[in-house]
Amino acid sequence: MTARARTARRGSARLAAVAFGLVLAALIGYFGWRAWQRSAADVAPIELRESAPVSAEKLSARRAALADPTRAWTRTTRRFELTAEDAREISPLDAPNQQYDPICFLKHDPNLDLNVDWPEHPKGRWNLRTNSLGLREDRELAPQFDGLRVLCTGDSHTDGVCNNWESWPHRLEAALRKAHPTAAVEAINAGKGSYSFYHYRGVLERLATLEPDLFVVAVYGGNDFMEVTRPWYFFAGAERPRFDLEDWQRLKAARSTDAPGIAQFWTSALYFRRFPDEVDVAVSAALALSADIAGAAGARGIRVLFVYVPSRAELAPDAEVERSRATLTALGLTRADLDTSGRIADRYLQGLAALDVPTVDLRARFRAEPRAPYWDRDQHIDLAGQAAIAAELVPWLEPLLVAR
């Protein structure tokens, strides 16, 4: 395609961005394992657990592999391909209705069609449906698409605690079709609960054969930065800082006051308070992976856009303190700890700007909503939040659609 050919010329610049980002991120890593799982039939009780330490033998073997020049990456080498055993160390593969993938580490089971009771939803329930690729789509995808094809990914907020057509990728497609009825546009929802930056990189590699024109990555500030560093340590052949027994006791105590918040942002807030140096680790790792995504996409002639999705705690920290005093007390957190996510987001977005990678920051848009756009039940973005993301992205995508 003509548009793709123009974009492909930027490949060398994107690859340079990769190199810069990887240098920027050397000497870093992290912990932070998501300590909860959500059943497709309902929101399951949150299980706070720490993954078993990686053995010294495995770490030594990983370092040896990284140092082996015969295993250097080539154009045909998959960047982060893992066996099921290794993928289990950095992804929650034992949750229901999902399966191992060597590139994304995990994905939805294909052809799901599950009803989820949800009192806050206008209809009291929603449907979790996937196609044969395990994507949140009601239909199969054609191998090629003669129009603007947008591949979207993110964590559970993009996956959607809602029907497929209510998620922001599909609302975005519907809005663009309504504004430009003669144009061909398709937005694909490749989001998945438990995803973070390495998974986003895997989505690009796994689905690059669909030849999207644009790859949109929705980064969730509540836990994506904490979660990126565990696989970062794994690939570096190192062990990450770990919560001690007192930390886990605090988390278990806080679970009784705000179990959904523990999953969405409180665990991350506690981690960065306990290990403040890991803020630098998380920012650098996130920038390195984002630069790598941008470089890999640019080499394929695919544009990229990173979208920052804030947690509820970021929108109004003072109000969150009043609402969550019992949780803060249980965790030993203060008002200042609620600002950590915002500081990380600022540094991350500034870093992407320095790399000339386009971004959209949703914090102002979400603060302008009549009420915080999250389900009270589990703190995922609600239908208003999904609609707000789509509305914010329409002006960004319209020039790409018109230029075709």
pLDDT score recorded for residue 324 = 95
Instruction: Dump pLDDT digits (tens) for 68-113.
Output: 665 554 545 566 788 898 888 888 888 899 999 999 999 999 999 9
Q: Are strands 214-220 and 148-153 parallel, antiparallel or unpaired?
A: parallel
The answer to whether residue 43 scores a pLDDT higher than 70 is: no
Domain ranges in the chain are 2-67+78-402
The answer to whether residue 302 scores a pLDDT higher than 60 is: yes
Instruction: For residue 29, name the pLDDT band (cuts at 50, 70, 90).
Output: very low
Residue 22 CB coordination number (10 Å): 16
Give the whole-angstrom CA distance, residue 233 versus residue 228.
9
CB 151 within 8 A of CB 188: yes
Q: What residues have CB less than 8 Å from 90, skipping those under 6 apart? A: 82, 105, 198, 230, 231, 234
pLDDT score recorded for residue 244 = 94
Q: Which CATH class is domain 2-67+78-402?
A: alpha beta
pTM: 0.87
Instruction: For residue 67, name the pLDDT band (cuts at 50, 70, 90).
Output: low
Q: Helices 197-207 and 224-236, interaxial angle, to 10°?
A: 80
Instruction: For residue 239, name the pLDDT band (cuts at 50, 70, 90).
Output: confident
Q: Determine which of 18-22, 93-97, 326-330 has the lowest per-residue pLDDT on average.
A: 18-22
Q: Give me 2's structure tokens.
A: 């003509």
Give the whole-angstrom CA distance, residue 356 versus residue 359.
9
Q: Which residue carries 């993301």 as its tokens?
A: 389
Q: Are strands 214-220 and 303-309 parallel, antiparallel or unpaired?
A: parallel
Strand partners, 127: 115
Instruction: For residue 55, name the pLDDT band (cuts at 50, 70, 90).
Output: confident
pLDDT score recorded for residue 49 = 47
Q: Average pLDDT, stretch 269-295?
A: 96
The answer to whether residue 39 scores a pLDDT higher than 80 is: no
Residue 99 parent element (H or E): strand 98-101
Q: Average pLDDT, stretch 257-281?
A: 96
Instruction: Dump pLDDT digits (tens) for 138-149.
Output: 999 999 999 999
180-198 burial code (b ≥16 CB/10 A, e <16): eeeeebbbbbbbbbbbbbb
Q: Average pLDDT, stretch 211-239?
A: 93
